[in-house]
């Protein structure tokens, strides 16, 4: 199983409803954002909608682009600095269920990381484009834990990572050591343009903890924005 790791030093310095678009070309980000249409809420959307409502009400993204990662649904949702959705995609995530990185995992060799510690941590992360071993560009999410978002790794064909991304359910999307894999076109056409000139925020929704335990949400504020429609 191949997975890029961090190397060298790197300085690391939300809201509309879910969009249903395919990966969007870089030059069309603003036009695509303006064309996104709201979809009716359903149970699977609730954590994403609650989080985006809180971000909209609080301005937590600080006018920076941001990404929301729903681990349960195995999806990534990208937003520009004006909180407009610019594209969603399936994603591959850490094979182990959990919301915390094991101590010291970022300095371990991949083969030495136990399966139970191959988690994608939940939380709010300041993210920035950078480089991993092998001169591979990634979006660093948690540099200390060596967690990044990057184009899908295809070197080990036995893992069938591209096929996993294309499958209709999230049940086979847990395969990585903790990093977030997205389709290569999505990384190139959505992630890179959003974060090319500035840092942004990555929000990873928890799967074992309550949402309010991970994010300092004011429940009343989030609920009011969510029910009232907010800026969809």
The b-or-e profile of 89-125 (16+ CB within 10 A means b, else e) is bbbbbbbbebbebbeebbeeeeeebeeebbbbbbbbb
pLDDT at 30 over 70: no
Mean pLDDT of the chain: 80
The pLDDT value recorded for residue 218 is: 65
pLDDT in tens, 100-141: 999 999 989 888 999 999 999 999 999 999 998 878 999 999
Three-state secondary-structure class, residue 65: coil
For β-strands 123-132 and 136-142, DSSP reports them as: antiparallel
pLDDT at 95 over 60: yes
Residue 45: pLDDT above 60?
A: no
Question: What are the start-end ranges of the E strands in the chain?
Answer: 66-70, 75-79, 85-90, 93-94, 123-132, 136-142, 147-151, 174-176, 180-182, 200-205
Mean pLDDT within 86-112: 94
Percent with pLDDT over 90 in the chain: 66
Q: Are 209 and 71 spatial neighbours (Cβ–Cβ below 8 Å)?
A: no
In this predicted model, what pLDDT tens digit does every residue of 155-167 receive, in sequence order? 888 999 999 999 9
Report the helix count and the strand count for the chain, using DSSP H and E: 7, 10
User: CATH homologous superfamily for 26-227?
Assistant: L,D-transpeptidase catalytic domain-like (2.40.440.10)
Range of weakest confidence among 3-7, 125-129, 208-212: 3-7
Predicted pLDDT at 122: 98
Domain boundaries, the chain: 26-227
The Cα–Cα gap between 110 and 86 comes to: 33
d(CA 87, CA 222): 23
* Residue 171, CA distances (Å) to 15, 93, 125, 142 in order: 27, 11, 25, 25
Q: If you ran DSSP here, which 8-state letter would residue 92 be given?
A: B
pLDDT of 133: 80
Give the global pTM.
0.78
In 10 A of CB 11, how many CB atoms? Answer: 8
Q: pLDDT value at position 72?
A: 96
The string of pLDDT tens digits covering residues 52-83 is 999 999 999 999 999 999 999 999 999 999 99
């Amino acid at each position: 199983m191949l997975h890029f790791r961090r190397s060298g030093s790197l300085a690391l310095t939300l809201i509309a409803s879910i969009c249903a678009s395919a990966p969007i070309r870089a030059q069309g980000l603003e036009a695509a954002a303006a064309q996104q249409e709201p979809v009716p809420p359903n149970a699977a959307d609730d954590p994403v909608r609650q989080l985006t409502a809180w971000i909209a009400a609080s301005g937590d993204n600080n006018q920076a682009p941001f990404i929301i990662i729903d681990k349960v649904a195995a999806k990534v949702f990208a937003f520009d600095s004006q909180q407009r959705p610019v594209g969603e995609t399936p994603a591959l995530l850490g094979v182990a269920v959990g919301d915390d990185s094991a101590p010291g995992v970022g300095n371990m060799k991949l083969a030495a990381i136990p399966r139970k510690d191959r988690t994608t941590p939940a939380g709010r992360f300041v993210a920035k484009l950078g480089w991993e071993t092998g001169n591979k560009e990634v979006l660093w999410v948690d540099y200390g834990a060596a967690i990044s978002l990057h184009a899908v790794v295809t070197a080990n064909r036995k893992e069938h990572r591209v096929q996993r991304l294309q499958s209709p359910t999230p049940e086979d999307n847990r395969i990585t050591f903790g990093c977030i894999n997205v389709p290569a076109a999505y990384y190139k056409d959505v992630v890179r343009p959003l974060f090319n000139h500035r840092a942004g925020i990555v929000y990873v929704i928890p799967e074992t903890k309550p949402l309010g335990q991970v994010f300092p949400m004011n429940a009343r504020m989030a609920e009011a924005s969510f029910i009232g429609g907010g800026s969809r």
